[in-house]
Each structure stands twice: as C-alpha cells, then as structure tokens.
Amino acid sequence: MQEGQITKALSGFYYITDGTDKEVYQTRGRGVFRLDGVTPLVGDYVGFKSGNLEEGTLLEIKPRKNELVRPPIANVDTGVIIASVIDPVFSTQLLDRFLVMLEYRNIAPIIYISKLDIADEETAQEIEKYKGIYEEIGYPFITIDVDKVDDLKAEIVHTFEDYFEDKLVVFIGQSGAGKSTLLNYLNPAFDLKTGETSKSLGRGRHTTRHVELLPLLGGLFADTPGFSALKFEDIEVEELSSCFPEMWARKDDCRFRGCLHQNEPNCAIKKAVDEEKIAEFRYKNYLQILKELQERKPKY
C-alpha cells in the first residue's frame, strides 16, 4: 500500500500527494467508506493503491489530529492569525478568541501584525507591549513594518519558512486585516485579489468552491474563508482554560480541581493576575468567553 495526503477533493475524486515522490494520484474512495459513514477529507493521511496516476483506490484513512467543518479539512497544524493595527483596529478580545479557536483544535497559532507602517508611534509602542506578553505565553508574534525593511518579500519569507516546513497551514483574521496581502508576499503566484472584501464577492462563491491545498514554503496552505466565524459551540466550560496556556500551566495550584478561576476561593490564576504574572486583559478576555459559554442555551 502507498501512503500520502489528500490535497484536493473534487467530483468524487480524491487527489493524493505522495509524500516521497510528490506525484499526484487521482483516486476514488473504496465503497466501504460510504457504508462506514466516513468521508475522506482534504488533509487526511491515507493509504491507497494505484496502477497509474489516474486510476487509484483510496483504502484507508489514518486517525485525524483535528477536523474543521467549514471548509472541511483535517490535520491542520498551524494557524496564522492576521491582525491589523488599524482598519480594522487591533483588539485583544478578538485575538484571544482566534487563539482559543486554534488552541481548542490543537492548531499551533502564529500571530502576524499588519499595517504597522500606517500606525502612529503610540499605537506601535502598544503593539510592542503586547508582543512581549504574547511571546512570554509562547506565541510567535510577528511584527514586520513594511516601511522599515529593504527587501520585504525576502524578510517575510525568511520569517515564515521555519514555521511552514511540512505543515498544513490556515490563515484567519477579520476581513480587511491583510490575509491576501500577506499571502501575495509569501507566494505571488497565488495572485490573490486584495482590498476587496470577501463579502462583496458573495457567500455562494465560497461554498461552491472545491477545497484544495496549495504548496507554500515547504508546507501546504488551505484557503479557509469560513473559518473566521467565531463560535464556540463545541467548547465545554471546563475546557476553556486549557486554551489559555499561562492559566493551564498554573491550574494545579488552585484549591479546587476543576476550578473555573471565576469566583472560587484560593484560585492560583486570580493570584497570578494580582501579582501581574498573568496579564489582566487576558484574564478578562477569558472571563468574557467563559460567561458566554455559561449563558449559552443547552443543546437538546
């Protein structure tokens, strides 16, 4: 049996990229998948057999590390969060929500700040302050001022290549944050339209489009328009603090097991906030999301 990864799904065919020779094999799913209710997804690591490049059979799907629904992709390794300083304005609330979404799905986050070139000095300093805080938590926090580097493309490629090698990468961020702009720097061959909001293109365009992974800096890139919808339906209240690494690291010091770090006495997280070991804004953002989860209507 050969092994590879599904990099495209279209009209009942699964296109599998072989890890060793990088050939693309056109395959069809084995009938048994339909009986099992298993739908192969782009990103799946699979076993297959093929006599030639056009007629292969997909035989088995390896266990998934994670799975996104819209668009349907499996095994996402890395999520680049693109956040602009202004237009739209930078917000830690929004950034932390994106971080929770990625952490919950076991996707490694990278934060990239755009539009520093049009930020005033005060705003730029504020971003520097956040950079220190997020880096201490363990998140890469990339700030490239496009006005201050000579060879912008080289600088951006150099910064990202170590993160992308052999990884399946998605981009997320608000409309207008600069996702397409960053991608164009990373690979101008994609030739994406910038400055045009996805909304103006109409939703239907995205839903009918097929899912395909594209090679990018030694890894694979998935264009994921639907991923920005910020819903936390599947996260349990007790799971939320696992999405805040600096809280998770201290949870064993709380008096109660399963402490939500909300109103409980002898809470190590509240103490760490008081001692400024955990940033207060992060804790507040945590409480805000927690409240939303607690107030959400039960599912029947």
Q: Which residues would be at the binding site for Mg ion (CB under 5 A)?
A: 179-180
Q: Which two tokens stand for residue 32?
A: 């048994």
> Which of the stretches 51-59, 104-112, 124-132, 173-181 binds ligand GTP when contact is defined by CB under 6 A?
173-181
Measured between its terminal Cα atoms, the distance across the chain in Å is 43
Among 36, 54, 117, 162, binds ligand GTP (CB under 6 A): 117
Question: 61 or 82, CB closer to ligand GTP?
Answer: 82
Per CB under 6 A, 194 contacts ligand GTP: yes
Amino acid code (one letter) for 77: D
State the DSSP string of 231-297: --TT--GGGGGGGSHHHHTTGGGSSSTT--SSS-SS-HHHHHHHTTSS-HHHHHHHHHHHHHHHHSP
* Residue 175 touching ligand GTP (CB under 6 A): yes
Interface with ligand GTP, residue 146, by CB under 6 A: yes
Judged by CB under 6 A, the stretch of 10-18, 22-30, 168-176, 265-273 that binds ligand GTP is 168-176
Within its chain, how far is the Cα of 163 from the centroid? 13
Query: Does the footprint of ligand GTP cover residue 173 (CB under 6 A)?
Result: yes
- Looking at residues 231 to 270 of the shown chain, list those that interact with Zn ion (rule: CB under 5 A): 254, 259, 261, 267, 269
Instruction: Name residues whose C-beta falls within 8 Å of residue 73's C-beta, 6 or more positions apart in sequence.
Output: 41, 42, 43, 67, 168, 170, 211, 213, 222, 224
Residues contributing to the site for ligand GTP (CB under 6 A): 82, 114-115, 117-118, 146, 173, 175-181, 194-195, 197-198
Residues contributing to the site for Zn ion (CB under 5 A): 254, 259, 261, 267, 269
